[in-house]
Chain A
Amino acid sequence: MSTVQTTGEIRPFSVEVPKEALVELHARLDATRWPDGETVADQSQGVPLATVQALAEYWVTDYDWSRCESRLKALPHFITEIDGLDIHFIHVRSKHDDALPLIVTHGWPGSIIEQMKIIEPLTDPTAHGVSAADAFHIVIPSLPGHGFSGKPTTTGWDPIRTATAWIELMRRLGYTRFVAQGGDWGNAVTEQMALQKPQELIGIHTNMPATIPDDVARALQFGTPPPPGFSADEQRAWDQLDSFYKHGLGYAQEMANRPQTLYALADSPVGLAAWMLDHDAASLALIARVFEGKSEGLTRNDVLDNVTLYWLTNTAISSARMYWESKLAFFAPKGVTVPTAVSAFPDEIYQAPLSWTERAYPNLIHYNRLEKGGHFAAWEQPDLFTNELRTAFRSLR
């Protein structure tokens, strides 16, 4: 394990994107050379041409990055160097002094943009009809190589090292008793924080728990039939996972094998957008509906804020490297023993059944199967998500 610096100063940070970068993005979008359409009527060959063209059209004609930049500027941003790397984070303290400190970690293809809607409800509950006793101080870092954090120039920045850095970050901020939350890579980092057992960490919440039992994982890996005797919830999880392993792992395997080969993502904005949209079947279907003009938990601006952030910071490849760095079995139980709360959203890559979840987290303090929401739960269903966090951590206050 690397040595962690403990003397780093915390510098204010302001988001400033040069105008030329936006002009250049527009020039590239205007010059897009398109492939022909897919030869199927569904999403089984990848992101449909109509979706990417609708996205590009909106990006060029209606989308306004300065609106997103203003929203970001309204929040307190900071950078501090940890373990040799600049870590960017948003830090919003509640006006309620005894609020519970919370560090929330995004995943891929996400960013701090995913968490913007939950900041106010979590830090200022009384303005949202909720008791002051549910207040949080919130810390939202950008993962190494993501967004406004630095891009590692050496190998080793996996979820384990990131977790160590996050613990250091919370200590630097003076928090002696805090909780952590995450989904996607954010879950991996949060679990690794829990496994390092810092005394300050009193509990975690995850919306993408790692619960898959060994025999199920083997069947998925080798494409063999599932073990017998599934309950209805287990069968649903299996069906989701089976489809993901057979049809949806390509991007993850490429980023784990050869992240550097994806020069496309630095050079082509539509190449980047398509790659980011193709994360999981349910979120792609949702985003496709959004660009058809349907009303969903995400808006076109939400989606493009996130894609544009990746573009403007040129972080697609540096973020993809997290897949290469990580040697963790993504969905395998890790032996987390700190108090753990789980929200199982129905359209996640798989909706973790209670049975698997109880085995994966022996110290389970909260489990709920939500009616709505997917992989980007905080972004898509901020009300449900914030309610989950309040409920989950109430017993630890």
Chain B
Amino acid sequence: MDTSIRPFHVEIPKEDLVELQVRLDAIRWPTEELVDDRSQGVQLATLQALVEHWRTEHDWRRCEERLNALPNFTTQIDGVDIHFIHVKSRHEDAMPLIMTHGWPGSVIELLETVGPLTDPTSHGGRAEDAFHLVLPSLPGYGFSGEPMEIGWNVGRIAGAWAELMGRLGYTRYVAQGGDVGAAVTDAMGRQAPNGLIGIHTNLLAPALRGGPMPGETDEEKAALEQTTTFRASGFGYFLEQSTRPQTIGYALLDSPVALAAWMLDHDTDAYYKITHAFVYGQPSGNLTRDHILDNISLYWLTGTGASAARSYWENGHAAALAADQTPPDVSLPVVGFTTFPGEIFRAPRSWVEQGYPNLTYYNKAARGGHFAAWEEPQLFTEELRAAFSPLR
């Protein structure tokens, strides 16, 4: 078995960029939505502003330089090439941290946290806040390989991440994630591989498994209402990707505007923040036009719209098979959670404790949403420092 770790360099052929431009110049648009909000989906004005910026301002080579300024690697695990960024802190006793993006995200979401996490003394922190950072691309996403067989659910990914940390020589490390990354991190916590001593997540994965959540207090009622609203009016993409990923995959590979719209339509808070960035030029934090298009371009240029969607199908399958089983509790020294106010639902402490009876850290952040690390990297970093401080 080849367990070598190979350096990786991002280099998209010029023809691919030209071809993207050609498609963007030839878009055929539908008629405008009939409402003045997002209730029918991504608004035409938002998407046309995005495409205009993509065609005329966005520069993929700038993103590529940003990526290549970091140490990128690939290594084959369980038959799939896993891409990851690996930034070692100059502080030798830094805590190793594997941090996992979600959908529709990528390593692009996490780039802004590299400085604060690995070089805390330059970013308002202390040397003992330092992390060695590992940022993998999920199988089927970004520069990772696309699984050619079924079975790559979050449980298998969690196992691969433990293998990855072992190959990097880390014997004592922590894990973090939001969205799909939260599900992977949750699975790592329950699998408790040797060396893993703590997790932190910013989307409450156990709540997504279903089962009743407390609904007594105002805060709990509000969270219940948010989940109900999401399931009733925002669940289409989730269901389509969980059941028919190949069907939407054709569009996501063939049409950049289709891909952009599909990726923008994730959650209400992020959607309006992105709309503000493109239509009014007012980004929220680091969720800027260029950063958003870096992420969409990454999906386009790697042709991973279908394979990323398929990861939902895998998780749907795994969830159906495990429906009658109670997963083991997470009993690591640190189990941390941060609720960001713009997330799909603002998980109250009671919900988090239900999912993680051994919760050691809970906090409500002042700002930020679903893409917390991306939007508010400094605030996000401070959460990680605080959550993992008992391990120092």
Contacts and interface: CB of A to CB of B under 8 A. Distances in A.
Nearest to B323: A223
Contact of B258 (A253, A258, A268, A314): A268
A270 B254 CA distance: 8
Contact of A264 (B33, B148, B241, B251): B251
Interface residues of A, number: 57
Contact of B249 (A35, A40, A151, A267): A35
Nearest to A38: B246
Interface stretch (A103-111, A243-251, A328-336): A243-251
B325 interface: no
Contact of A267 (B40, B236, B258, B303): B258
A259 B240 contact: no
Nearest to B147: A39
A321 B41 CA distance: 10
Interface string A32-67: 111110111000011111001000000000000000
Contacts of B249: 35, 46, 274
A397 to B, nearest CB: 42
B34 A251 contact: no
B262 A321 contact: no
Interface in A236-256: 246-251, 253-256
B217 interface: no
B147 to A, nearest CB: 7
A24 B204 CA distance: 47
A8 interface: no
Q: Is the interface of B mostly helix, strand, loop or mixed?
A: helix
Contacts of A255: 236
A33 B42 contact: no
A224 to B, nearest CB: 12
B47 interface: yes
Contacts of B245: 45-46
Interface string A292-336: 000000000000000000000010111001001000000000000
Interface in B109-147: 146-147
A257 to B, nearest CB: 4
Given A258-B265, A274-B247, A264 B31 contact: no
A230 interface: no
Given A45-B310, A254-B236, A262-B261, A267 B255 contact: yes
Given A45-B245, A49-B246, A257-B235, A314 B306 contact: no
Taking each of A34, A48, A52, A258, which has the highest tally of chain B beta carbons within 10 Å of its own beta carbon?
A: A258
Interface in B220-266: 233-237, 239-255, 257-258, 260-262, 264-265
Interface string A260-277: 111111111011111101
Counting contact residues on chain B (CB < 8 A from A), the size range is 35 or more
A283 to B, nearest CB: 13
B239 A35 contact: no
B236 A274 contact: no
A254 B29 CA distance: 19
Interface stretch (A114-122, A152-160, A198-206): A152-160
A278 interface: yes
B147 A263 contact: no
Nearest to A271: B251
A95 B326 CA distance: 70
A36 B306 contact: yes
B211 interface: no
B307 interface: yes
B150 interface: yes
Taking each of A49, A248, A262, A278, which has the highest tally of chain B beta carbons within 10 Å of its own beta carbon?
A: A262
A249 B243 contact: yes
Given A256-B236, A268-B255, A35 B30 contact: no
A266 B146 contact: no
Interface string A3-45: 0000000000000000000000000100111111011100001
A258 B31 contact: no
Contacts of A28: 26
A34 B257 contact: no
Given A39-B147, A261-B237, 15 more contacts: A35-B307, A36-B307, A155-B35, A250-B240, A255-B236, A258-B237, A262-B261, A263-B30, A263-B42, A264-B248, A267-B257, A271-B252, A271-B258, A273-B250, A274-B247
16 contacts: A34-B253, A36-B306, A45-B310, A247-B243, A250-B241, A250-B247, A258-B236, A259-B41, A260-B40, A263-B257, A264-B262, A267-B254, A268-B254, A274-B250, A314-B31, A316-B30
Task: Kindly list the 7 A-B residue pairs having the minimum CB-CB distance in the complex, ordered from nearest.
Answer: A271-B251, A264-B251, A264-B258, A260-B41, A46-B246, A254-B236, A46-B247
